[in-house]
Amino acid sequence: MLRAIPSRRTGQPRYHFRRIVPAMLRPLLGKTEISLVLHTSDKLVARERAAALYARTGQLFRAGKMQNPSREDLLVLYGELIENYEIALKAYGVSLVIP
């Protein structure tokens, strides 16, 4: 899900990605949802980033359902998802430090 939240400083929309974690994986991940800032106010860029995150979270959920991993294995996969997302943002020249 893509949602726009107005910036406190500029009032422009800042887009966020949000996806509900399937009920059977919540105890393993310790989360009910995955929510990430997309670091853009451009709707088209936000849609591209959200689509990529949707695909990655889908892979994570499928792995959790099919392979019956341990909690540690699933958290490693989640960590890799976040790390890869941050690497992709840096490749776009996005600073992850909030001023």
Mean pLDDT (the chain) is: 85
Distance from C-alpha of 95 to C-alpha of 76, rounded to nearest angstrom: 24
The structure tokens 């992850």 sit at 96
By the 10 Å C-beta count (0-12 exposed, 13-18 middle, 19+ buried), 5 is classed as exposed
pLDDT score for 89: 84
- What is the average pLDDT across 12-41? 91
Q: Picking from 23-27, 32-36, 73-77, 91-95, which range would have the lowest pLDDT averaged per residue?
A: 91-95
- What is the average pLDDT across 10-20? 87
Contact 57, 24 (CB under 8 A): no
State the pLDDT confidence band at 12, using cuts at 50, 70 and 90.
confident
Distance from C-alpha of 17 to C-alpha of 28, rounded to nearest angstrom: 21
Higher pLDDT, 33 or 41: 33
